[in-house]
A and B are shown apart, each in its own frame.
Chain A
């Protein structure tokens, strides 16, 4: 596609449930990034993929968070046993070997 595509655009779930967020990067982009944006705050880096390996996962806040990527294609971010503090917008970005990063519209996650 022309841009970074994320799904779902909105997700409401109950505390304790698992959620999967999907990111489809721009075709040909080898690098993929996940960020979290809490209400009224800037973006926090979560994890970076180069191809299907994750050289930097330093931003994952706990072991409830995990992510994977298939080749240089789709990535999924999984949050297990969701907590209310996980409520945020989760943004995905992709780039070639060099910056800048191009962002999707995000998934707005609400934990009840």
Chain B
């Protein structure tokens, strides 16, 4: 069965500092991988996705993520964090196309940004 681990429950960074949120997945084949962000009281907004091809993917709001098959990881990065980035971040893995592509989510990382 597929699974996602986000080892960091809470992370605090200073505004302007760099950010890396960790995500490890377990999946039997090439996964579809996603990062979503959730602000309080809101739904999930897609930051970026990986299906195949270039392992470094760019997303919205200046985020990027790198797929590393050998490490089963898909870490999210941002070079310079803004106070508005404070939110909860979820990594997710999707089933192969044809299987309905339901998503399995990690438990999330809560990001706090210090001014």
Contact = CB atoms under 8 A, between A and B. Distances in A.
Q: Is the interface of A mostly helix, strand, loop or mixed?
A: strand
Interface string A41-63: 11111001010000110010000
Given A56-B100, A102-B46, A42 B34 contact: no
B41 A42 contact: no
A45 B107 contact: no
A100 B90 contact: no
B82 to A, nearest CB: 23
Nearest to B46: A100
Interface residues of A, number: 27
Contacts of B36: 103
Given A56-B102, A99-B49, 18 more contacts: A33-B102, A33-B103, A35-B105, A41-B108, A42-B4, A42-B105, A42-B106, A45-B103, A45-B104, A55-B100, A91-B44, A99-B32, A99-B97, A99-B101, A100-B46, A101-B46, A101-B103, A103-B43
Interface of A: 4, 31, 33, 35, 40-45, 48, 50, 55-56, 59, 91, 93, 95, 98-106
